[in-house]
Structure 1
Amino acid sequence: MRWFLFLWALARSRCALAFRICSFNIQCFGESKGAKPVVMEIITKIVARCDICLLMEIRDSSGAVVDHLLQDLNSYDRGHQYMYLASKRLGETKYKEQYVFIYRSDMVTITSSYQYRGGTKGGMRSFAREPLIVRFSSPRTAIKDFVLIPLHAPPGEAVNEIDQLYNVFLDVRAKWDIEDIMILGDLNADCRYVSAKDWESIRLRNKPGFFWLIGDNEDTTASASTDCAYDRIIVHGWKFFKALVPGSAKVFNVQEKFKLTEKEAVEVSDHYPVEVRLKLEAVHYEL
């Protein structure tokens, strides 16, 4: 019996060997998309894979579509409890978006957060949609305390906004005295928006201590007509980097996973999610 219990516990531990952090530009997520049951089912399954999931392009001013998604998540995955934190609606024009972090509250807690308020550059604001910066406590992972910085950069401002993220990093480090910081989101960091020459002027790419986990040759787009690494995950801090599962940073191919046509995949979003996994603490069992 003792051996049976040991093997059962070992099997359980192997089912949860890592903690997944995801980023997903969900593309114009509002009432229209929320009213499509098949699309919502796929979105629910995508987010349910993640312990923390950043969602971007939340367009619904009422907040009802995110509440709907949360209800679906908690019904679909009863092994976890899902909660969310949303930014205010961001943008200088009538077009506004929100950042939303959905997380498993039984796995991780939010200890602090703030909306970044950047300065200006050449008379223009540093960001069209300022990051909502969130500090997490994660007692079960190899790293316990870390910060996530999201960004959805406008295509025409991608070079400037990616560079300005270095100032956000400095602000977070000074405010909270922390080195373990992850930047993630749809940076539009490829193709005609960021050229090979542009990278030379981007501090986030050239300063030491930053690890770009989604490479320039990845394709984070759902359309067969594009091949661009728009969506990225960047980690700062050797301790944070060592806490990642090696090789776990990747693009989650929604079309392939759910056996969709290209048209069906694009109905979910024109972007694929990107993700990385954190190591869990070693689990020891006494016989």
Structure 2
Amino acid sequence: MHPLALLLLLSLCMAGASFKICAFNMQGFGEAKAGDAQLMGLLVKILARCDISAVQEVRDAKGDAVLTLLTELNRYQALYAQLGSRRLGRGTYKEQIVFIYRVKAPIRFGEAGDFARGPFAARFHAPSTGRSPLTHRAPRNAVHEIDRLYGLCRELTQRWGTQNVMVLGDLNAGGAYVPPSAWGSIRLRWEPSFHWLIGDTANTTVRARTHCAYDRIVVQGDEMLGAVVPGSAKPYNFARSLGLSEEEVSAGEAPHCPGKEG
């Protein structure tokens, strides 16, 4: 796992329609990976499963790699568009968070907070935009950063006037980063309006040597919870599904992929 993982916030308009959402850590996606035809074919198959994909660790300064991915995705299964954050991070290492979504879902978006490398908030509802800064620190700060997401969710609730907020992505919410003794200090965990859809015993990695629930999906409010198909929030082991070997997974460097259907 990359030492500076990203978080995502997604606020959904409850429209009554059924759709699939996933978060996918692409671990340094840029021009090199975009030029690998075999890898791109796998990425397209993964992303085409979902109506909204929250893609993490995009290192694409020019924006060409994401456009290439979008072109290939639309050639495979139209119609998709993308919305990316500004390049986030301190120092020379910069990454983006990119929402890839079917165009039937218009959006509002923004960034918020003062993390070191950030979550990116998008509201799939109305075609207007807004911005403010947002970031996330190293895995060793996972307990503190996950707790701070509680306040960020409250901010989104007030700003956008909706309780229907989803947090998804690589939270480093497992293994040594969040020991069992630490959960009591994380408000996002024990505040009753938040519901954790991927449990502590889940494995959100696809490598044989790891078994950790780093990636999570958390929804706020009973309306949002009621919109989730029971049992649909779970990791998607793309390696097993696509018949990839451990060596192929390591070469692709994309070990995280929780998903939600609802």
**Quick check: 262-271 or 25-34, which moved more?**
262-271
C-alpha deviation, 1:151, in angstroms: 7.7
Q: 1:127-142 residue pairs with structure 2 within 5 A?
A: 127-137=115-125
Indicate yes or no: 2:82 matched with 1:84. Answer: yes
Give the aligned partner of residue 169 of structure 2. Answer: 185
Contact 1:39 1:268 in 2 (8 A): yes
- Separation of aligned partners in 1, 2:140 and 2:191: 23
Pair member with larger Rg:
1
Give the aligned partner of residue 106 of structure 2. Answer: 109
Contact 1:56 1:152 in 2 (8 A): no
TM-score (normalised: structure 1): 0.80
Indicate yes or no: 2:84 matched with 1:67. Answer: no
C-alpha deviation, 1:37, in angstroms: 0.9
Contact 2:115 2:136 in 1 (8 A): no
- Separation of aligned partners in 2, 1:94 and 1:229: 29
One-letter amino acid of the structure 2 residue matched with residue 68 of structure 1? T
Indicate yes or no: 2:235 matched with 1:251. Answer: yes
- Separation of aligned partners in 2, 1:151 and 1:260: 33
Pair 153,19 (structure 1): closer, same or farther in 2 beyond 3 Å: farther
- Separation of aligned partners in 1, 2:246 and 2:45: 18
Give the aligned partner of residue 223 of structure 1. Answer: 207
Give the aligned partner of residue 54 of structure 1. Answer: 54
C-alpha deviation, 1:269, in angstroms: 3.1
- Separation of aligned partners in 1, 2:88 and 2:257: 22
- Separation of aligned partners in 1, 2:71 and 2:123: 24
CA-to-partner distance for each residue in 1:75-127, whole Å, 9 max, x for gaps? 001xx310010000001111111010000013x111x21111x2xxxxxxx41
C-alpha deviation, 1:223, in angstroms: 1.6
Secondary structure of residue in 1 paired with 2:163: coil
C-alpha deviation, 1:265, in angstroms: 1.9
C-alpha deviation, 1:156, in angstroms: 1.6
Give the aligned partner of residue 32 of structure 1. Answer: 32
Give the aligned partner of residue 196 of structure 1. Answer: 180
Contact 1:18 1:245 in 2 (8 A): no
- Separation of aligned partners in 2, 1:237 and 1:132: 20
Runs of 4 or more consecutive aligned structure 1 residues displaced over 6 Å after TM superposition: none
- Separation of aligned partners in 1, 2:58 and 2:208: 24
One-letter amino acid of the structure 2 residue matched with residue 245 of structure 1? V
Higher relative contact order (CA 8 A, sep 6+): 2
Contact 1:153 1:188 in 2 (8 A): no
Give the aligned partner of residue 205 of structure 1. Answer: 189
- Separation of aligned partners in 1, 2:192 and 2:67: 40
Report the count of equivalent residues.
Answer: 239
- Separation of aligned partners in 2, 1:235 and 1:103: 19
One-letter amino acid of the structure 1 residue matched with residue 22 of structure 2? C
- Separation of aligned partners in 2, 1:152 and 1:248: 28
Indicate yes or no: 2:247 matched with 1:272. Answer: no
Give the aligned partner of residue 146 of structure 1. Answer: none
Secondary structure of residue in 1 paired with 2:70: helix
**Quick check: 27-36 or 87-96, which moved more?**
27-36
Secondary structure of residue in 1 paired with 2:201: coil
Q: 1:99-178 residue pairs with structure 2 within 5 A?
A: 99-106=97-104, 108-110=105-107, 112-116=108-112, 118=113, 126-137=114-125, 154-178=138-162
Contact 1:152 1:186 in 2 (8 A): no
Q: Where does the alignment leave 5 or more consecutive residues of structure 2 unmatched? A: 1-16, 127-133
